[in-house]
Amino acid sequence: MQFILRDRRDVEKILKKIEKINPSYDITIMEVCGSHSQTISKFALRSLLPKNIHLISGPGCPVCVTPARNIDIALEMAKNKDVIITTFGDAYRLPGTNGSLAEMKNVKIIYSLEESVELARKNPDKHIVHLAMGFETTSPSTAVEILENQDLDNFHIISSHRLIPPAMEFLVKGNNNIDAFICPGHVSAIIGSKPYEKLAKVYKKPSVVSGFEPVDVFLATYMILEQLTTNDIKVEIEYDRAVRPEGNVVALNKLKEVFDVEDANWRGLGVIEKSGFVLKKKFEKFDALKIFDVEVGESVDIKPGCKCGDIMKGLAKPTDCPHFKRGCTPQRPVGPCMVSVEGACNVAYRYGY
C-alpha cells in the first residue's frame, strides 16, 4: 500500500481499514521509541483509533534508561579541575542520586561527538569524558570516533549504550498485557528487522518496524491487526524507505569491532541480560571507568513515588504519577521520563496523553 505521508485522505483510508479489521477485544500495542511517542501524542492519534486499541509507551528513550550511577560517576569526575564532562543537551538535567550535570561548572553541552574529540585535541592538559548514551542508533558514531582517534590519550567515555531487542524480550516476560510492538525506526535502520524475530516466533508478538509520520503509525497498527486476525505472527517492515532486513552492515561491523555486549542495568527496569555495550579490552584507554578511580555510594535510579519504572514497562501512564505536572516538570524533573523530549512524561507534559 502506497500513501502520501501527511495526506488527510490517506489517513482516513487507513483508519477505515483499521475499523473494518478491528477485532472486538482489547489490544495493547507498545511503541518502543520516543519519537513514535511524540508523533502519537502530538497528533492525538490515540483519540482517532478504536477505543479497544491501546498505544502505550515503552523504554524508547536512551536518556530515561541511563542508570543514576553513571550520572553519579560523571558528577564525581566533574569535581576534578582537570576533567571536562561533555554531554548532549537532552541529558543535561538528568537526575543522578543527588543532583544533575546542570549544577556543575566544567560540563559542556555538545551537538556531535566530534566536538568532544576536538575539545580533547585543543586541551591536551585536560581529560575529556563524554557521557555516551544511546541505543544502536548512536552507538556506531561512538565506535567510529574511537576507531579514528586512537592517538588520543585524553578522550574517554562513560558508556551507557544499550541494545533494544533484549529489553523488548525482557518486557514481554514481565508484562503479559503487551500484545504487539511498533518497533523503533531509527534503531532498525541500523540493526534491521531480524533481531525482532524471536518476539514473533517464540513469544507470538506481532512486530512492525514503523516510520514516524501519523500515516506510518496507523499503517503499522493496521499491519499488526491483520497479523492478529489471521494468526500469521511475524516481523514486518512498514518503514521500508529507510529499513532493510539486514540493517546497516557497515555500522554493525563498527559496533562489533569496538564493543562487547554484556548484562546492563536499565534505569527503572533493572539488569537485562546481554543488553549493554562495553568497550573491548584493546580500547580500555577510552573507558573513563578504567582510567579514573572514582567511588560513589549507593545510587538511586527512581525516587520515591516516581512512576517512571512502571511507565517504561507499560504498566502505568504518565498521568498516573503523583509527581506529574506537580513537582515534576521538564525544568525540574523528578524522574528520568520527564527529562528528554523523547521521554514519555515529557511528551505527555507537552502534548497530553
Residue 140 lies in a domain: yes
The pLDDT of residue 4 is 53
| Cell triple for 107 | 560540563
How many CB atoms within 10 Å of residue 106?
15
The answer for residues whose C-beta is within 8 angstroms of residue 321's C-beta and 6 or more apart is 305, 306, 307, 308, 311, 328, 335, 345
CATH code of residue 283: 3.40.50.11740
Q: Is the pLDDT of residue 199 over 70?
A: yes
Q: Is the pLDDT of residue 2 over 60?
A: no
Residue 84 lies in a domain: yes
Q: Tell me, what amino acid is at 259?
A: F
Average pLDDT over residues 331-353: 96
Q: Is the pLDDT of residue 5 over 70?
A: no
The pLDDT of residue 136 is 97
Residue 102 lies in a domain: yes
Q: Round to whole Å and give the CA distance between 287 and 278.
A: 9
Half-sphere exposure in the Cβ direction for 168 (13 Å, CA): 30
Average pLDDT over residues 322-337: 95
Q: How confident is the model over 169-182, as pLDDT tens digits?
A: 999 998 889 999 99
If pLDDT is split at 50, 70 and 90, which confidence band does 332 have?
very high
List the domain range (segments joined by +) for residue 69. Answer: 65-163+249-291
Burial class (CB in 10 A: 0-12, 13-18, 19+), 267: buried
Residue 106 lies in a domain: yes
The pLDDT of residue 293 is 87
The pLDDT of residue 252 is 98
The pLDDT of residue 10 is 86
Q: Is the pLDDT of residue 338 over 80?
A: yes
The pLDDT of residue 295 is 87
Output the average pLDDT for the chain: 95
Residue 265 lies in a domain: yes
Q: How confident is the model over 217-241, as pLDDT tens digits?
A: 999 999 999 999 999 999 999 999 9
The pLDDT of residue 247 is 98
Residue 120 lies in a domain: yes
Q: For 91-105, 194-208, 225-239, which range has the lowest pLDDT when averaged over its residues?
A: 91-105
Place of cell 482489547: 26
The gap from C-alpha 130 to its chain's centroid, in whole angstroms, comes to 18
Q: Round to whole Å and give the CA distance between 144 and 140.
A: 6
The gap from C-alpha 280 to its chain's centroid, in whole angstroms, comes to 23
Residue 36 lies in a domain: no
Residue 15 lies in a domain: no
Average pLDDT over residues 347-352: 97
Q: Is 29 within 8 Å of 180 (Cβ atoms)? A: yes
Give the strands of the sheet with 53-57, arranged side by side: 53-57, 27-31, 180-183, 207-209, 235-237
- How many domains does the chain fold into? 1
